[in-house]
């Protein structure tokens, strides 16, 4: 993509009150969102009109213009003069431009409320498009369950910062969080654990999932759901112990870590189960990607399991590592048959990648680099820069894994997702990056916000802007405005510098 062009061409403008927004039918959904936002900012609700006559009288014009294909799938052009004009070749582009406009409006509303029914906006000309197409944030709802209302708020906050992927980590050892009609015990048993403080858990009904998916789609956020396998699956095994090598019984664990009991790879019923689960999942999530985990799978049980050993022998696999790879190939086939693409953690490289698999590189960048060199797409999220469960400073009271380092704001901002060693023709395999929020040490939505912000704002800029436009002192300066907007939205962000 071409670097953004921004020029502030004049001083602040008072525009309005805005009586109307002019737009074509195709841009109407975007105009509705803007109209609501102007209503809540200024108290005046602009009507939406189609008139092409004297459009400038409307003071805001929104155009879906296919002639602007130079702006790419997500770019937009925004001009603010005595009127506002937003143009893009796609609805997603208009939506992104709308977020910029909202940010400028929120900035003005905060700066001056002398005349609240008119908008204060800086005169400017912005031509803008993202550097990366995968701009993601992840959230683990297994270790701690997060209610639907918060998931929606999280999606709102992502969209506001022009993230376009929400990676929803729905299953793990400590809880299965999505209703699967064919296997009711996944949620009646697998969604609950016994803790010192009593029974803990929760899950999303399919109805709720559909609702969240629609909510995200309206905000141009694609949800990538994750079902973990073959490891990190204790909650599922507690519900259906026959899917393990030993037959159990198991409890949903209430402690963190990596557990030896995993799905039995020698049992055909495991794959029947996973196919049925993924069937229901694929019907709920319209996005092209489904995440199937693949990380941190101990091989102890497979070593001692007659069925797993028989599988290794009759498939002529290279030991347990080969069996893990064979397992993930099966997962990839199940998804391909349902028209989906598989994505998994970088361990899926071990023993050979499944065809078409996309790799999420978390143990540094090396897995991503190796996968790109084999012609696979990759998403970068190295622990060093993208693990927002890690502490933000050494201060006492910061919660997070103590064995892990500190990932402060400057570190996140210094992240370069594109590895220098990839040749230009391989760089296209780097789709982008994402921030990961594992919730072992986050019990509440408020604490998730504390860990996510403002680090997600730094990451958002790294993923959107071209490297030559990223500068840390400049970001530090702009951060104040970002934080004022976060204040206005009541976000429990971490105050930098404390
Ligand atoms: C590693 S990242 C994990 C998670 C933990 C996280 C804690 C990954 C694929 N696996 O299960 O929650 O570290 O930072």
| Tens-digit pLDDT profile for residues 71-127 | 999 999 999 988 899 999 999 999 999 999 998 887 765 445 556 677 888 889 999
| Tens-digit pLDDT profile for residues 372-399 | 999 999 999 999 999 999 999 999 889 9
Q: Are strands 222-229 and 198-201 parallel, antiparallel or unpaired?
A: unpaired
Give every CB contact of residue 162 below 8 A, 6+ residues apart in sequence: 96, 99, 130, 135, 460, 464
Given the residues 169, 232, 376, 385, select the one marked as catalytic.
Answer: 232
229, 262, 294, 295: which to mutate for ligand 1, most atoms within 8 A of CB? 295
Q: Specify whether 172 is catalytic.
A: yes
Q: Specify whether 232 is catalytic.
A: yes
Residue 293 CA, closest ligand 1 atom number = 9
Instruction: With a cut of 80, say whether residue 1 has pLDDT above it.
Output: no
pTM, 2 dp: 0.96
The confidence score (pLDDT) of residue 9 equals 64
Average pLDDT, the chain: 93
The conformation of residue 365, written as its DSSP 8-state character, comes to S
Which region among 57-61, 163-167, 477-481 has the lowest average model confidence (pLDDT)?
57-61
Helix (H) or strand (E) holding 175: strand 175-176
- What backbone phi and psi angles, to 5 degrees, belong to 335? -70, -45
Residue 363 CA, closest ligand 1 atom number = 2
| Tens-digit pLDDT profile for residues 294-304 | 999 999 999 99
- What backbone phi and psi angles, to 5 degrees, belong to 331? -60, -45
Contact in structure between 379 and 357 (CB atoms under 8 Å): no
Given the residues 63, 140, 172, 261, select the one marked as catalytic.
Answer: 172
Q: Specify whether 296 is catalytic.
A: yes
Cis, peptide link before residue 454, omega less than 30° from 0? yes
- What backbone phi and psi angles, to 5 degrees, belong to 440? -50, -40
CA distance 38 to 454: 25
């Amino acid at each position: 993509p071409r670097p953004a062009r921004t020029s502030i061409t004049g001083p602040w403008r008072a525009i309005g009150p805005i009586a109307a927004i002019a737009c074509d039918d195709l841009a109407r959904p975007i105009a509705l969102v803007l109209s609501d936002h102007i209503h809540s900012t200024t108290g005046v609700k602009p009507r939406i009109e189609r008139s092409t006559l004297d459009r400038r009288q409307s003071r805001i014009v929104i155009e879906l213009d296919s002639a602007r294909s130079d702006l790419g799938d997500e770019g937009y052009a925004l001009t603010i003069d005595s009127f506002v004009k937003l143009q893009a070749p796609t609805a997603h582009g208009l939506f992104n431009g709308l977020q910029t406009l909202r940010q400028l409006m929120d900035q003005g509303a905060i700066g001056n409320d002398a005349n609240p029914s008119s908008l204060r906006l800086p005169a400017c000309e912005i031509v803008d498009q993202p550097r990366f197409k995968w701009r993601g944030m992840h959230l683990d709802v297994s270790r701690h369950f997060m209610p639907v209302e918060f998931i929606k708020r999280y999606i709102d906050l992502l969209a506001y910062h022009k993230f376009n992927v929400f990676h929803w980590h729905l299953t793990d050892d400590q809880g299965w969080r999505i209703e699967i009609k064919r296997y009711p015990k996944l949620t009646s048993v697998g969604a609950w654990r016994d803790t010192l403080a009593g029974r803990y858990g929760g899950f999303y009904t399919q109805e709720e999932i559909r609702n969240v998916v629609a909510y995200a789609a309206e905000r141009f956020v694609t949800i990538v759901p994750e079902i973990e396998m073959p490891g990190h699956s204790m909650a599922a095994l507690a519900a259906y112990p026959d899917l393990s090598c030993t037959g159990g019984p198991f409890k949903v664990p209430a402690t963190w870590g990596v557990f030896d009991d995993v799905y039995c790879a020698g049992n055909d019923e495991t794959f029947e189960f996973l196919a049925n689960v993924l069937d229901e999942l694929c019907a709920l999530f319209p996005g092209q990607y489904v995440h199937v985990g693949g990380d941190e799978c101990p091989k102890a049980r497979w070593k001692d399991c007659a069925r797993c050993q028989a599988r290794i022998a009759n498939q002529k696999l290279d030991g347990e590592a080969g069996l893990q790879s064979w397992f993930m190939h099966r997962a990839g086939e199940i998804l391909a048959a349902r028209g989906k693409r598989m994505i998994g953690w970088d361990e899926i490289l071990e023993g050979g990648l499944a065809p078409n698999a996309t790799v999420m590189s978390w143990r540094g960048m090396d897995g991503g680099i190796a996968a790109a060199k084999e012609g696979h797409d990759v998403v970068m999220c190295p622990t060093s820069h993208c693990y927002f469960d890690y502490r933000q400073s050494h201060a006492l009271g910061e919660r997070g894994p103590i064995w892990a380092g500190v990932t402060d704001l400057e570190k996140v901002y210094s992240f370069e997702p594109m590895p220098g060693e990839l040749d230009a023709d391989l760089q296209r395999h780097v789709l982008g990056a994402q921030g990961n929020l594992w919730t072992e040490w986050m019990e509440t939505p408020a604490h998730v916000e504390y860990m996510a912000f403002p680090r997600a704002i730094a990451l958002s800029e790294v993923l959107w802007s071209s490297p030559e436009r990223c500068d840390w002192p400049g970001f530090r300066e702009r951060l104040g405005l970002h934080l004022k907007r976060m204040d206005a939205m009541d976000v429990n962000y971490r105050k930098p510098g404390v």
